[in-house]
Amino acid sequence: MIRRLRGRTASLLVRTLGFLTRWPRLAFAIADTLAAATTLVRRGPHHDALRTLFPDLPAAGFAAAIRRIRVNQVRRLLLHGWAERAGVAALQPLVRTNDTVPRLQPPLILATFHVGPLLALTAFAERLDGEVLALRSQTIGSGRAAHVSVGAELESEQQRSAAFLQALARLRRGGFVFMAVDPLQQSGLEVPFLGRTLRLARGAFALSRMTGVPIVPVVAGWNGDEVEVETGEALHGDDERTLAAAAAQWLERYLTQAPGELSHQLLALMEDDGKPQAGGPGPH
């Protein structure tokens, strides 16, 4: 019953604020206020996880992180609603222009995680100078740039194998492959993460091993009402687990500085003494 009410609240929020794509600051101000007042995130896995994963986080920092988690969830709903309503182009004005794009030269594997406004990275990908293959679990929006293609059929093993071959071909032609390395699935590479274990998909790391193309970790985060894209140093190597561990270490450093970016997706992929963390995947 509670989940149904939350789902209805979220749908009502998207419908109500969906017309404000031209006035994002107003939409975000309303959404942020609602995020603090609603029960989209109640005391539960996030509270317990923050206490356990970041034991040195002061009370003020803890409260700020919980607020950020709430805001991120509501804003994520808004971005999805806007993209479905007006296409990915509606998100372009939100992505801050900096020197990140010129520094990313193909062939390159851009590995991201389910933290922050992940959908905004689709708009960011359209600014890259080269052919881009974005692998994601669903296609959202329309009016995508001609140099960006999306592989969205990733449900079955056969579909994932086909997407892998498509990505391999794109890299060998000198393009970009953009993919999340923390999808919810049964198998993966288990690597140390925040004192526990994080399970990452092999795909990006196998692509790097087979082609010699480096991996660059990339995430998006909110800076006020704009999206800032942050990238890490290129990861090189011929051992998949070592590459995965390096990517997890980069994410660990990022979350230590921004614990409010913690998500249900990551919690579902983390283990403590072999036991999965409580809680399931949230919207992403």
Quickly count: other Cβ atoms within 10 Å of residue 190's Cβ.
17
**Domain shared by 147 and 25, yes or no:** no
**Domain shared by 159 and 233, yes or no:** yes
**Domain shared by 190 and 129, yes or no:** yes
**Domain shared by 151 and 185, yes or no:** yes
Q: Which residues contact 158 (CB under 8 A, 6 or more apart)?
A: none
Least confident of 10-24, 154-168, 193-207: 10-24
Instruction: Check residue 274 and give its pLDDT.
Output: 39
**Domain shared by 151 and 271, yes or no:** yes
Average pLDDT over every residue of 189-203: 93
Q: pTM of the prediction?
A: 0.85
Number of domains in the chain: 2
Residues 183, 201 contacting (CB under 8 angstroms)? yes
**Domain shared by 20 and 81, yes or no:** yes
**Domain shared by 192 and 226, yes or no:** yes
State how far the Cα of 238 lies from the Cα of 212, in Å rounded to an integer.
7
Residue 77 lies in a domain: yes
Residue 281 lies in a domain: no
Domain membership of residue 140 as a residue range: 92-276
**Domain shared by 113 and 59, yes or no:** no
**Domain shared by 79 and 17, yes or no:** yes
Instruction: Check residue 78 and give its pLDDT.
Output: 84
State how far the Cα of 256 lies from the Cα of 32, in Å rounded to an integer.
23
